[in-house]
Structure 1
Amino acid sequence: MELSTLDYSFIIVFFSLVLGIGVYVSKKSGKNSSEFFLSGRTMPWWLLGLSMVATTFSTDTPNLVTDIVRTNGVSGNWVWWAFLITGLLTVFVYAKLWRKSNVNTDLEFYEMRYGGKPARFLRKFRAVYLGVIFNVITMSAVTLAAIKIGGIMLGLEPWQTVISAGLITVTFSALGGFKGVVYTDFLLFFVAMGGAIGAAYYLVNIPEVGGIQALIEHENVAGKLNILPDFSNKKALITLFIIPLAVQWWSSWYPGAEPGGGGYIAQRMLAAKDENHAIGATFFFNIMHYALRPWPWILVALASLVVYPDIASIHEAFPNVAESKLGHDLAYSAMLTKLPSGLLGLVLASLIAAYMSTISTQLNWGSSYIVFDFYKQQVKPNASEKELVAVGRISTVVLMVLSAGLALALQNALQLFDVLLAFGAGTGLIFILRWFWWRINAWSEITAMFASGIISIIFKLTPLGPYLFAAETGVFPDWAEYLFIVGITTAIWMAATFMTQPESKEVLRNFYKKIQPGGPGWSKVVNEAEADNVEIINTKEKWSVPSGLTAMLIGCVLIYSIMFATGYWIYGRTTPAIVLTVVAAISGFLLIKAWNRMKDHIL
């Protein structure tokens, strides 16, 4: 396809602004490691919230949603919509705890919560495991989406896309650090959202689709519209709704939706001005991420079922795309080729923005692990601030090169999402409990991490998995695989917890004194400290978790009702749309009251 001068103008101006921001903040960002990775902990909630939204709007996200909608319908998105519960638990319970910890990375938490060699091993291992291996895999999925977009829309070879997109991203990431990432995210958010909404509006109204009414009545689309799964379809109900809502949200670790917070979400909470800014940022992110942002992608995915009903039709329209890269996720890029001049440039800029935002965040976050949790801890504890920033910039470049190489070997984003989800299965409960139950120790996490990974590899990459879990021929139904991984992993780490020694009194008391987690899970530690005349309670603050859980439940009602209402307004189903809008308004009012009670607890 040919780009016009106007299209190129949009893209060139956008690139210039992004690089300009990176250069502008580079001097201050390079002053010390705190500035480079946390921007001096001075960020306001609205800027951090926008940054979280921009970061999770990646080039692979609309592709993933398109793949889900074309394969399982709109209701298939419950596989990630269920993580809203995790997100709001982070907002109303864990955000203030993370900000109180004042650590540089969430991995530094390990040596604050646990002690001795196991804690040091856990921090070092996860710095490499998450900061390098897991991070590279995640970035490769994002880069794979960029490769597919470049191939479909611009006819670029994979290596051409990787070099052109990656070079600019790694340049401003290495120069600007965290501040550069957050400042550019502000721009990237509006460009990305504008492009997504503009594309959805135009593509739903092209002649082949015929407008929203014709779209929802089309035979290829009518069976895909339900927001809730078909309750008469047992398998769909279990896999797309029951497992995500009943098990997956608390049991699985996944980047950006970690139970108890973590990763780049924790990095932004740690960079906030104070606890209230950390809470405000994460709540704003969850509203935008779940309630509003998916619908433009969903509409394009539904429209693609009219224009390209199957993979064969995509291949026929784009014969130059390698068969190894073909998949339903390609339909999103295929639809964008139908955009007119001007809007095409804006949408391409928005996709570039989505790519750059996610990759820059992953690079800075992964680099922070390498610098604080590996290099400074294991290699050179007395390294100067200038040296730490230099290592941060070098590791940023290395991570980009590794992820680009892996992206060239991948085929499908949904496959990777399933594998990543399985690798974290069964570990999530630890991340929730470790703040509020004294008995969790370093061996709990070490055991869970290895058990989940090993069991996932056995089920995913050996004949045992297909033998045990297959739709028709397996010993168990295929949807039981995830439950088995969760159940076995949980049983193993619980056994390890009680078979190993608890953390020392000194470690537990120091943690309690700093964080003040409260609750019955720490009563043994508090009572023993009082008996030894050691004062570890230093605040009159009430235990805010009950209020936080109430706010979490009300927040779920608020955001899900907004999400449902938006869908029904788009579908033209006025009655349920009005009812859900009223429910959203009432739950919003109740949430404000619950939030005010939480603030009273903090004060």
Structure 2
Amino acid sequence: MELSTLDYSFIIVFFTIVLGIGFYVSKKSGKDSSEFFLSGRTMPWWLLGLSMVATTFSTDTPNLVTDIVRTNGVSGNWVWWAFLITGLLTVFVYAKLWRRSNVNTDLEFYEMRYGGKPASFLRKFRAIYLGALFNIITMASVTLAAIKIGGIMLGLEPWETVVGAGLITVTFSALGGFKGVVYTDFLLFFVAMAGAIGAAYYLVNIPEVGGIEALMAHENVMNKLDIVPDFSNRKALITLFIIPLAVQWWSSWYPGAEPGGGGYIAQRMLAAKDENHAIGATFFFNIMHYALRPWPWILVALASLVVYPDIASIHEAFPNIAEDKLGQDLAYSAMLTKLPSGLLGVVLASLIAAYMSTISTQLNWGSSYIVFDFYKQQVNPNATEKQMVAVGRISTVVLMVLSAGLALALENALQIFDILLTFGAGTGLIFILRWFWWRINAWSEITAMFASGIISILLKTTALGPLLFAETTGVFPDWAEYPFVVVLTTTIWLTATFMTQPESKDTLRSFYKRIQPGGPGWAKVVDEAEVDGEVIKKENEKWSVPQGITAMVLGCVLIYTIMFATGYWIYGRTESALWLTGIAVVSGILLIRAWGKMKENIL
């Protein structure tokens, strides 16, 4: 496939603007560590919200969605759609708590909530565990998608894609810091959306597909359209719908969808002007991420089933792709090769934008862990602001190099998604409860982290997994593996919690004074403090969690009905679309009222 002069013009202009932004903000971003990693905590909700959306608009996401749709149909997306519940719990319950904490990273929370050597160990270990190990795996997944896109659309060797895409991204990330990331995300969001929508519209209407009506009626597509799994298919119902909605959303830690908030989502909440801006940013992100953005990718995935019905047909069309890189996720890139000049340039720029947005965020976020939670804590407690910014820039480059190396060894996006999901199974409940239950201590988190990881590794890399979980030969059905890890990990960390000493009175009271979490889970701490003559609870502070949960439920109804309605409008099922649109309007009105009451409680 050859690019025209117009295509190259779009891409060159895009690169020039992005690098220009990086150079423009580099001087101010390098002033101190707060500017480099949080932009001085002055960001408005709309800019942070767009940044969150752009960050999750990565090159591997359309590949992942395509893999899911081609393998399990549209309803297969419930494996990540279920995380909306997690996201809205963060919006209406945890966003204000994170902003009140005023920490530099979410890992700094550990030494605020817990005390002593266990808390210090937890903070340092997770700085490397998340900031380096998990971060590198996540970025490798994104880079793998870029490799596949470069191979199919441009005929590039994997190393050529890695060097070309990585060099520009790491340059503006190291120069511009967090402000550079957020400012470029504003541009990247609109470029990425334009590319995704434009590609979907064109590809659905190419002669091979024949338009939306022909697509919906095609034999390869008809059985893939259900938004909710077929209730008569017991296995699909359990694995694709029941487990995600009943267990997965609260039990699993996954980058960008951490129960209780965390990672780069927490970084943006911490950078907000105030609590209301933190809430507004995360809510806007969840609407765009779940309700509207997936449908262009889903349409391309469905159209790909007409043009490339199986992996063999993809391989036949693109024989230069290595065997170890073949997979259902390649269908998205394969479809994009059919775009005309001009639109091709916009879509390629949008894919580059998606790649750069995600990688730059991961680099800045991971580097913040290394600087604040490892370097300053472990290596150089007296580090100057200049030294911290320098280490931040160096670690940015190192993370990029390591993730690029790993990407060259990986095969497909769904494989990585499954590994990360299972690896964090059972830990999510701690992240939800630690704010509202005084008894959770540092050993609870340490135990859960290691238990989940060890159990997952044993099941994935030894004969134990197939022995216990297999469709016909295992002790349990294969769908029971994830719930098994959750139950076993939860049992282990709860046991460890009650077998170890609670945090000290001073640690617990200091945390309560700062955060004001409220609720019955802290009643013992508040009452004991009053007996000792210490008042730790503000008189005018109301416990807003019940209102937050009400808003969360209304928000879920709103966003899911928008998502369903959008799908049914596309499918041409007008009656269902009208009913869902009406429900979305009503739930939106009720949510506005509930949100108004919540804001009255935010001081």
When normalised by structure 1's length, the TM-score is 1.00
Task: Find the residue that maps to 1:502 and give its secondary structure.
Answer: coil
In 2, the alpha carbon distance for the partners of 1:539 and 1:69 equals 52
After TM superposition, the structure 1 = structure 2 runs for residues 395-434 of structure 1, keeping only pairs within 5 Å, are 395-434=395-434
Specify the alignment match of 1:476 in structure 2: 476
Superposed displacement of residue 538, structure 1: 2.6
Specify the alignment match of 2:438 in structure 1: 438
In 2, the alpha carbon distance for the partners of 1:175 and 1:155 equals 31
In 2, the alpha carbon distance for the partners of 1:570 and 1:539 equals 52
- Contact kept in structure 1, 2:275 and 2:602, CA below 8 Å: no
Specify the alignment match of 2:578 in structure 1: 578
In 2, the alpha carbon distance for the partners of 1:304 and 1:539 equals 60
In 2, the alpha carbon distance for the partners of 1:538 and 1:363 equals 39
Report the AA paired with residue 218 of structure 2. Answer: H
Superposed displacement of residue 287, structure 1: 0.1
Specify the alignment match of 1:49 in structure 2: 49
Specify the alignment match of 1:337 in structure 2: 337
Specify the alignment match of 1:165 in structure 2: 165
Cα-to-partner distance string for 1:119-157 (whole Å, 9 max, x where unaligned): 000000000000000000000000000000000000000
In 1, the alpha carbon distance for the partners of 2:541 and 2:117 equals 34
Report the AA paired with residue 178 of structure 2. Answer: F
Cα-to-partner distance string for 1:38-74 (whole Å, 9 max, x where unaligned): 0000000000000000000000000000000000000
Cα-to-partner distance string for 1:272-295 (whole Å, 9 max, x where unaligned): 000000000000000000000000
Specify the alignment match of 1:186 in structure 2: 186
Cα-to-partner distance string for 1:276-325 (whole Å, 9 max, x where unaligned): 00000000000000000000000000000000000000000000000100
Specify the alignment match of 2:251 in structure 1: 251
Specify the alignment match of 2:10 in structure 1: 10
2:88 pairs with 1:88: yes
Task: Find the residue that maps to 2:248 and give its secondary structure.
Answer: helix
Report the AA paired with residue 377 of structure 1. Answer: Q
- Contact kept in structure 1, 2:55 and 2:361, CA below 8 Å: yes
After TM superposition, the structure 1 = structure 2 runs for residues 456-535 of structure 1, keeping only pairs within 5 Å, are 456-535=456-535
Q: Which structure 1 residue ranges, 4+ long, deviate > 3 Å from structure 2?
A: none
Specify the alignment match of 1:450 in structure 2: 450
2:118 pairs with 1:122: no
Report the AA paired with residue 382 of structure 1. Answer: N
Superposed displacement of residue 225, structure 1: 0.2
Specify the alignment match of 1:176 in structure 2: 176
In 2, the alpha carbon distance for the partners of 1:84 and 1:460 equals 27
Task: Find the residue that maps to 1:536 and give its secondary structure.
Answer: coil
Cα-to-partner distance string for 1:571-603 (whole Å, 9 max, x where unaligned): 000000000000000000000000001011224
Report the AA paired with residue 486 of structure 2. Answer: V
In 2, the alpha carbon distance for the partners of 1:541 and 1:230 equals 47
- Contact kept in structure 1, 2:57 and 2:354, CA below 8 Å: yes
Specify the alignment match of 2:588 in structure 1: 588
Specify the alignment match of 1:548 in structure 2: 548
Superposed displacement of residue 472, structure 1: 1.8
In 2, the alpha carbon distance for the partners of 1:602 and 1:272 equals 15
Unaligned runs of 5+ in 2: none
Task: Find the residue that maps to 1:256 and give its secondary structure.
Answer: coil
In 2, the alpha carbon distance for the partners of 1:336 and 1:469 equals 38
Specify the alignment match of 1:143 in structure 2: 143
Specify the alignment match of 2:288 in structure 1: 288
Specify the alignment match of 1:108 in structure 2: 108
Superposed displacement of residue 467, structure 1: 1.2
Report the AA paired with residue 177 of structure 2. Answer: G
In 2, the alpha carbon distance for the partners of 1:573 and 1:413 equals 32
Specify the alignment match of 2:152 in structure 1: 152
Specify the alignment match of 2:560 in structure 1: 560
In 1, the alpha carbon distance for the partners of 2:475 and 2:305 equals 35
Cα-to-partner distance string for 1:190-216 (whole Å, 9 max, x where unaligned): 000000000000000000000000000
In 2, the alpha carbon distance for the partners of 1:118 and 1:427 equals 17
In 1, the alpha carbon distance for the partners of 2:23 and 2:600 equals 42
Report the AA paired with residue 233 of structure 2. Answer: N
Specify the alignment match of 1:229 in structure 2: 229
Task: Find the residue that maps to 2:435 and give its secondary structure.
Answer: coil
Specify the alignment match of 1:195 in structure 2: 195
What percent of counterpart residues are identical? 86
Report the AA paired with residue 454 of structure 1. Answer: I
Specify the alignment match of 1:267 in structure 2: 267
Specify the alignment match of 1:132 in structure 2: 132
2:594 pairs with 1:601: no
In 2, the alpha carbon distance for the partners of 1:538 and 1:67 equals 51
Specify the alignment match of 2:308 in structure 1: 308
Task: Find the residue that maps to 1:479 and give its secondary structure.
Answer: helix
Report the AA paired with residue 513 of structure 1. Answer: K
In 1, the alpha carbon distance for the partners of 2:177 and 2:443 equals 34
Report the AA paired with residue 558 of structure 2. Answer: L
In 2, the alpha carbon distance for the partners of 1:87 and 1:211 equals 35
Task: Find the residue that maps to 1:36 and give its secondary structure.
Answer: helix
Superposed displacement of residue 537, structure 1: 1.2
In 2, the alpha carbon distance for the partners of 1:334 and 1:467 equals 38
Specify the alignment match of 1:386 in structure 2: 386
Task: Find the residue that maps to 2:478 and give its secondary structure.
Answer: coil
In 2, the alpha carbon distance for the partners of 1:543 and 1:121 equals 32
Specify the alignment match of 2:76 in structure 1: 76
Report the AA paired with residue 204 of structure 2. Answer: V
In 1, the alpha carbon distance for the partners of 2:416 and 2:141 equals 7
Report the AA paired with residue 205 of structure 1. Answer: N
In 1, the alpha carbon distance for the partners of 2:175 and 2:466 equals 47
- Contact kept in structure 1, 2:76 and 2:240, CA below 8 Å: yes
Report the AA paired with residue 53 of structure 1. Answer: V
Superposed displacement of residue 466, structure 1: 0.8
Cα-to-partner distance string for 1:549-578 (whole Å, 9 max, x where unaligned): 000000000000000000000000000000
In 1, the alpha carbon distance for the partners of 2:136 and 2:205 equals 38
Superposed displacement of residue 539, structure 1: 4.5
In 2, the alpha carbon distance for the partners of 1:290 and 1:501 equals 41
In 2, the alpha carbon distance for the partners of 1:558 and 1:396 equals 39
- Contact kept in structure 1, 2:512 and 2:536, CA below 8 Å: yes
In 2, the alpha carbon distance for the partners of 1:540 and 1:513 equals 13
Cα-to-partner distance string for 1:80-134 (whole Å, 9 max, x where unaligned): 0000000000000000000000000000000000000000000000000000000
Superposed displacement of residue 270, structure 1: 0.1
In 2, the alpha carbon distance for the partners of 1:10 and 1:468 equals 53
Superposed displacement of residue 471, structure 1: 1.5
Specify the alignment match of 2:319 in structure 1: 319
After superposition, the CA RMSD in angstroms is: 0.4
In 2, the alpha carbon distance for the partners of 1:508 and 1:273 equals 27
In 1, the alpha carbon distance for the partners of 2:108 and 2:143 equals 29
Specify the alignment match of 2:346 in structure 1: 346
Specify the alignment match of 1:20 in structure 2: 20
Cα-to-partner distance string for 1:415-471 (whole Å, 9 max, x where unaligned): 010000001000000000000000000000000000000000000111110111111
